Amino acid sequence: MTAELPETRPLTISRLANLAAKTIFNALDDYHSEFTVITRRAKTRFEQQDWPGMQADAVERLDLYTKIINGVVGDVRSLLMDRVEQKLVWASMKAVYSGLIADRDDWELAETFYNSVTRRIFATVGVDPDIEFVDTDFDTPPTQVQPVSRRYEGGEMTAVITQILADYAFTVPYADLTGDVGRVTAVIETHLRKIGALRILSRTEMAQPIFYRGKAAYLVGRLYSGIHVIPLVLALLNTPQGIRVDAVLLEENDVSILFSFARSYFHVDVKRPHDLILFLHAIMPRKRIAELYISIGFNKHGKTALYRDMLHHMAYSRDQFEIAQGEKGMVMTVFTMPDYDLVLKLIKDRFAYPKRTTHQEVRSKYKLVFRHDRAGRLVDAQEFEHLKFERHRFSAELLAELQNVAAQAIAVTETHVIIKHAYVERRVTPLNLYIHEADEEAAKTAVIEYGNAIKDMAATNIFPGDLWLKNFGVTRHGRVVFYDYDELTWLTDCRFRKMPKARHFDDELAAAPWFTVDENDVFPEEFEHFLGMPGPLREVFMAHHADLLDVAFWRSYQERHRARDVIHFYPYRQERRL
């Protein structure tokens, strides 16, 4: 006689919620552990001058979030089965999960991680506070505040700088510690005199973690001198002779550029991100909290903070979305609010001739930029889905434009507009408009910056494709950045050619080229036709960047990239270098 199997009963909602919440919590732990391992490698990469390894780590860390989320979404689906979309289960899961993360120092990142799972399963339109963390569950940080900085009281300035550099020691010695201390001290004293501060320090505070990016490491802090609070960033390079202090940054604008939305993310080993962000925000008060989270590698939570910032702005503003200034693009339609420095970009339903790209190819270009070194020249774009706004916040002109050119990307009801897919970026002034509106000196500076931007992109193996001024923008700091990615390609995939000489007079008059032109052929001599600048500005450009019209310039960079030469970018002005 066979024994009867015990009756299997379906799990209760509370039991199921506990199991699923712990599944997500365990995945969060896995993500945090792997993220930390990759981030901590930055110190060794810097010390060993392993720049290709640093680049590989940056890409691996960017891909990690999606990898972990893909896995846990599959696990949750398998666990919940036919109840995977029961919101009562998810509401219970959220409550359990909130309790699980209450003792974590990265609770805000944990909430965003949970939201990523729910939004993958439900494709929530707008927000649903019952099943996701629209606002944090914690009125105040749930865990005890921990020191995020080292504090140096008073003291003679040379002694303070010496102690700071000693406290941030590496396995590689400083090449000239005494000389670096003297140079740093001299720069600080000069700056204190310039701003009318006392030449003594009340105290100095330095963030405990080191900020690594590319070939550099940065010590970030602030100086107190009387009533003055002054940012302090020491940029370190590992040279063949040893580690040197390459630059001292003492102005908010310089530090803000270092943390720019057009730069790749730092690798920073921080246990409690919330406190570090507050420390950084005190140094750069004009930067959004969202941008600071993004800058230190927590881009997913930065996106959450950005969305909350947008909702907060709309709650206290009556402005409408309107078409952004500048020439309308052939691939993207762009809109903004006049008193808000973000733009939303939607891919158009159809692309005008001569564009031959596809929607998927456009999205792949944005992904390429996300995973690549942006060198301070490529605008970081945060990708959003299923955004929901009240219809009356859209101007009639904008709504008509969206329905005409991007109907597949939106859904319009009597009360709301739903954006199915968009990229959100910082708003900049289109370069073609800027050079006509700015004063003469600012316009000349922007033209020089335009050439520098093209060269910096070339140094990262990026060819922008479209060199029209309308595809570039000017930031509030006067830096020129690129934001139109549909024609962007790898520099090493291009074939740079000289214009063939005409065989006879009729060739020169022909409407079409009389020689064969392949898809990836590029003729630098033709770049001059893209400038669209008044004569004096064209002369300025040619005086500084005539080499961009020479095939040799582009081929030299191709050779360097094929040799895997990692090129360093200085995220500060030349005069800041010691």
Please write down the HEC assignment for all residues of 274-298. HHHHHHHHHHCCCCCHHHHHHHCCC
CB 121 within 8 A of CB 77: yes
Other Cβ atoms closer than 10 A to 552: 10
Partners of 221 in beta bridges: 206, 232
Sequence-separated (6 or more) residues with CB below 8 Å from residue 377 = 262, 453, 456, 457, 480, 481, 482
Decide: 435 and 443 in contact? Cβ < 8 Å: yes
Cα→Cα distances 161→100, 169, 485, Å: 42, 13, 43
The answer to whether 424 and 382 have CB atoms below 8 angstroms apart is yes
Structure tokens at 163: 């102690």
Residues belonging to the active site: 380
DSSP code at position 394 = B
Q: Please give the torsion angle defined by the CA atoms of residues 282, 287, 293 and 297, in that order, rounded to the nearest 10 degrees.
A: -110
Q: Closest Cα to residue 276, out of 371, 147, 460?
A: 147
How far apart, in whole angstroms, are the C-alpha atoms of residue 402 and residue 242? 56
Q: Distance between CA 480 and CA 62 in Å, rounded?
A: 25
* 354 cis-preceded (ω within 30 degrees of 0): yes
